[in-house]
Amino acid sequence: MKLEFFQKKFWTASRQCAALDGKCSISCDDENINCYLIDNNGFVLVAEDYTLTGKFFGEAEGAVMSKLLQMGSFKRVTLYDYQALCWVFSESSDSGHTLLDPYFAFFSAVKWILTELVIFLVEFNLYSWWHSDLTAKAQRMGRSMQVPCDTEYPAFISERTIKENTGNVDCDGCIKSFVIQQIPSSNLFMVVVDNKCDCSMFEPITMDPIEIMYNESLKCERLKMQKDRRRPDTCHPFHPEENSMECGGAAGLTPSFAATLLCVLLALFPR
């Protein structure tokens, strides 16, 4: 099922009421309320603002999500990523390996000259030369790079026993009300929020990861907790449907002259 079709089905179902005349006293089409369809982890599936699809509900309604955590409708758990990558700022980079080959030094010099020439042609024009007082000299800064690190990030899980809940949030004298109700036979929740109050004083709740900074003792404990993967209990060297008589011809392969020549030429140029 495509997302567009699912969203249309949801908005159609939200307009249906059990009243005799079929008209709803409150509808998601009302400008004073916002309707959301979220899953049991708090991610938005359907919203009036289509840019919120796939985002965490706490980013759109931080005040309401904070209240749901206080009421116990959702609980926060901490997850760890031991194979994450973090951005670090590098002032300079070492290039000592290029000194091992004179070709690298020669091509690096040519590359530097061409780069400086292109930058000069891009930055230089008559207007900037005439109005030199309005220009600012660019400074070459360091570069950012990714390094392996450990991070922790929050995750949110709905409480299975709570099927429906209502609450109010005090936003500097203005009361913001909301209703959350689980959709039967699913892990989805419909949330209706009153949008007449400005609750910008509440910070949005995000799931951004935070780098774990280790000292010497914590790093040692972290290495002790790391366990090696267990090998399989049994060995499967063959498969019943595999024909062992059908052997490959890898021994008859010969190196290609063109491929070998191409590898040699690539080794002479700097990467």
Give the separation between CA 174 and CA 199, rounded to whole angstroms: 9
Range in 59-73, 103-117, 141-155, 220-234 the model is least confident about: 220-234
pLDDT digits (tens, 9 = 90+) for 141-166: 556 788 888 899 999 999 988 889 99
The tokens for 169 are: 């949030």
More confident residue, 52 or 122: 52
pLDDT digits (tens, 9 = 90+) for 237-265: 777 777 766 665 555 566 677 777 777 77
Question: Of the candidates 144, 13, 26, 134, which has an alpha carbon nearest to the alpha carbon of residue 90?
Answer: 144
More confident residue, 60 or 214: 60
Pairing of strands 44-47, 164-171: unpaired
Range in 59-63, 168-172, 225-229 the model is least confident about: 225-229
Backbone angles phi, psi at 200, to 5 degrees: -70, -15
Residue 189 has pLDDT above 90, yes or no: yes
pLDDT digits (tens, 9 = 90+) for 20-55: 566 677 788 888 889 999 999 999 999 988 889 999
pTM given for the model: 0.59
Give the separation between CA 187 and CA 251, rounded to whole angstroms: 56
Q: Is the dihedral of CA 197, 31, 61, 51 positive or negative?
A: negative
**Burial, 48: exposed, middle or buried (Cβ in 10 Å; 0-12, 13-18, 19+)?**
middle
The tokens for 85 are: 């990558």
Mean pLDDT (the chain) is 79
